[in-house]
Amino acid sequence: MLLYALRRLIYLVPVAFGVSLLVFALVHLAPGDPISAIVPPDAPKEVVDKLKEYYGFDQPLPVQYLRWLGVTLTGDFGTSIGTGRPVATEVASAFGNTLILAIAATVLAFTLAVILGTAAAYAKSRIVDRLVTLISLVGVSVPHFWLAIVLVIVFAVELGALPPMGIGPENSTGWRLDGAHLAHMVLPTIALSVIPLGVVTRTVRSTVKETLSMEFVTALQAKGMRDRQILFHVLKNAAPTCLAVMGLQAGNLIGGSILIETVFAWPGTGFLLNSAIFRRDLPILQGTTLVLAGFFMLLNLTVDVIQTMVDPRIKRG
Amino acid sequence: MAVQGPTLDIGGAVLMKPRPSPASRGYWQSVGRRLRRDPVTLICAGLLVLIVLASIAAPWLGLADPYKTSMVRRLYPLGSPNHWLGTDELGRDMFARLIYGGRLSLFMGVTPVVCALLIGGLLGITAGFVGGRVNMAIMRVMDVFYAFPSVLLAISLSGAMGAGTENTLLSLTLVFIPPICRVSESVTTQVRGFDFVDAAKASGASALTIVRVHVLGNVLGPILVYATSLISVAIILAAGLSFLGLGVKPPEPEWGLMLNTLRQAIYVNPVLAALPGVMIFITSICFNLMSDGLRAAMDVKA
């Protein structure tokens, strides 16, 4: 098991190298040279040259890349052009906020999805099955940022029941466990959970249905096992497939939260990324993308390892 | 029951003239027959055709000018005279803008998937058919793109390149190449292992002939079905980029951008502010249902 995890980790090295190349390239994809983002267009040429030298932009690209990689690996992501604060600090505080929202949405989506999907697979009546299929279809088809706006319109504007934006009262920037902060979380969590809810419900429904038609279920029934215990066996067999999809969805949810955070002005990585793009704050853009991609890779690795733990049929390593 | 032809009288002996048995229906014919019997897919396809035709023919439908602003007629509610879907925050006719908006929204959703289908399909089939080191090289590069959540990749690329329709198309194409490539690779690898490919090889067919005759026919179906399932994702993602201000620039009518600019109106005229999203929702749900129908009709496993 440990050996397998280690091997997967080693296998991640070339991928991580590719990711770092891509993130490094982000700065050079930008129109004009990277310096033009921070100096006024009428700046004298000597100042521009000096700045180029200061940031190392006068070096050839491979040298620039190696330099950047060396500094980044020590945890120094540079300085934000907009605020002048270290990128690492900015990204770290935003990432915490995103993670809270993502965990809440993941728990909500996966719990509902397992219940709905299993219910649909077991359902004798077509109506229940159809209804669940409809829910999952809506989940994968609805533009989630639009749903976020509709939620704001209904619950904040019309009913006045929940706050429309922000992480907490009085421009609070950090999350705390209290009623006001929880109230601010409700709408973003719902909006963020629709896509994973749709996708995972679909997977759970089809996987459980497939498992139910397997011979071992008939054998267990013939043995006289109680339905509740059979359900346990069925879920255990359906778990690996569902887990794989869930892991992917949990990661995508972190990326998808960019739009939701923008609608709700939730001070997370998405909101940070969005404002960085419009301030042309390239270090923040780079840092946020790198942290999110790194997190996504580690998440996928974890899911893979958990999968081998759950499913003894998969012998890896 | 055997098919009997007309009898022939030859020298007193009555012979049965054999009639050729009816040609077995081809694969595509049976797919078409199954599709015709699927009302949900037909309705969705009809709706999509309607939306596409309306947006293509928008200039000739006698609609109001979607760019004409008016300071007086701002944010008219639904059902106003001359503006039955109201007017937006700059007094432009909403109905006209919703119809015109389909042009860019559909274009920006479908084009990246088509481009990615061509590039990713080619790469995936090559990787799957050639195998070995070529496969390794192509698929490892794809793994790098898989290390990003797709929305993040699209937004970071667009954000770095700057707003604009071309940049959005480019970044969305890049986002959809890896998944299409991966699916193409796995189907091709499967097909390559079948006996008829070995038989063709043994009979001396060139690699190109094998790909053209034996591989493509078996591989294109699943790849196409998968690509259609990506269109709804692409439409939502393209609208999302415009919503963030990274795609289409104002004053162009586009559903995502309209959702963004109408956000200031949610306190004044909330129903109006939600309208562009309804269009995205309908289009994407139709594409999803149609893709499901195609998958069932073509008997492709998910």
pLDDT one-digit tens code per residue, A157-212: 888 888 887 777 766 667 777 777 788 889 999 999 999 999 999 999 989 988 98
| Residue in B103, B68, B115, B58 with CA at minimum distance from that of residue B88 | B68
Residue A81's pLDDT is 74
B159 in contact with A at a CB cutoff of 8 Å? yes
Per-residue pLDDT for B71 more than 60? yes
Residues of B with CB below 8 A from A143's CB?
236, 239-240, 256, 277, 280-281, 284
pLDDT average, residue stretch B149-174: 89
> Are the Cβ atoms of B270 and A158 closer than 8 angstroms?
yes
Residues contacting residue A197 through CB under 8 Å, at least 6 positions apart: A108, A109, A112, A113, A135, A136, A139
A146 in contact with B at a CB cutoff of 8 Å? yes
Asked whether A226 and A153 are in contact (CB, 8 A), the reply is no
pLDDT level of residue B134 (50, 70, 90 thresholds): very high
Spatial separation of the C-alpha atoms in residues A284 and A280, rounded to whole Å? 9
Per-residue pLDDT for B113 more than 90? yes
pLDDT one-digit tens code per residue, A275-304: 888 888 888 888 899 999 989 888 888 888
Q: What is the pTM of this model?
A: 0.86
Residue A38's pLDDT is 66
Topology of domain B37-298 in CATH is MetI-like fold (1.10.3720)
- Integer CA distances (angstroms), A98 to A91, A150, A196, B242, in order: 10, 21, 16, 22
Question: At what angle are helices A2-29 and B132-146 packed, to 10 degrees?
Answer: 70
Residue B43's pLDDT is 92
Spatial separation of the C-alpha atoms in residues B246 and B101, rounded to whole Å? 16
**Given CA atoms A182, A185, A190, A195 in this order, what sign does their dihedral have?**
negative
pLDDT average, residue stretch A59-88: 81
B80 in contact with A at a CB cutoff of 8 Å? no
Q: What is the dihedral of CA B158, A23, A283, B260, to 10 degrees?
A: 20
pLDDT one-digit tens code per residue, B247-266: 888 888 899 999 888 888 88
Alpha helices (runs of H) in B150-298, residue ranges in sequence order: 150-161, 165-192, 195-202, 207-209, 216-243, 255-261, 270-297
CA–chain centroid gap for A228, Å, is: 34
Per-residue pLDDT for B204 more than 70? yes
Residue A282's pLDDT is 82
Asked whether B256 and B284 are in contact (CB, 8 A), the reply is no
pLDDT level of residue B3 (50, 70, 90 thresholds): very low
> Are the Cβ atoms of B157 and A29 closer than 8 angstroms?
yes
- Total Cβ atoms within 10 A of residue A65: 16
Spatial separation of the C-alpha atoms in residues B200 and A25, rounded to whole Å? 45
Spatial separation of the C-alpha atoms in residues B276 and B70, rounded to whole Å? 20
Residue B238's pLDDT is 93
| Residue in B103, B98, B91, B89 with CA at minimum distance from that of residue B63 | B98
CA distance to partner chain B, nearest, from residue A255 (Å) = 5
ipTM of predicted assembly, 2 dp: 0.86
Spatial separation of the C-alpha atoms in residues A253 and A275, rounded to whole Å? 19
A140 in contact with B at a CB cutoff of 8 Å? yes
> How does DSSP classify residue B19?
-
- Integer CA distances (angstroms), A129 to A1, A86, A121, A123, A302, in order: 39, 52, 7, 6, 32
Using CB atoms and an 8 Å cut-off, which of residues 72-131 of chain A contact chain B? none
Place of tokens 């492709």: B300
Angle at CA A61, nearest 5°, toward A57 and A67?
75
Where are the domains positioned within chain B? 37-298
User: B213 is written with which tokens?
Assistant: 């005759």
- Integer CA distances (angstroms), A299 to A1, A101, A233, B299, in order: 17, 16, 26, 33
- Integer CA distances (angstroms), A300 to A5, A7, B1, in order: 12, 14, 59
Place of tokens 């973003």: A188
pLDDT one-digit tens code per residue, A120-158: 888 877 888 888 888 889 988 999 999 999 999 999 888
Spatial separation of the C-alpha atoms in residues A237 and A173, rounded to whole Å? 43
Residue B110's pLDDT is 94
- Cis check for the bond before B276: say yes or no (omega within 30 of 0): no
CA distance to partner chain A, nearest, from residue B206 (Å) = 35
pLDDT average, residue stretch B262-286: 88
Residues of A with CB below 8 A from B265's CB?
none
| Residue in A197, A200, A192, A190 with CA at minimum distance from that of residue A139 | A197
> Are the Cβ atoms of B280 and A146 closer than 8 angstroms?
yes
CA distance to partner chain B, nearest, from residue A257 (Å) = 9
Residue A317's pLDDT is 44
Chain A: residue nearest B255 by CA? A146
pLDDT average, residue stretch A4-33: 84
Least confident of B121-130, B144-153, B180-189: B144-153
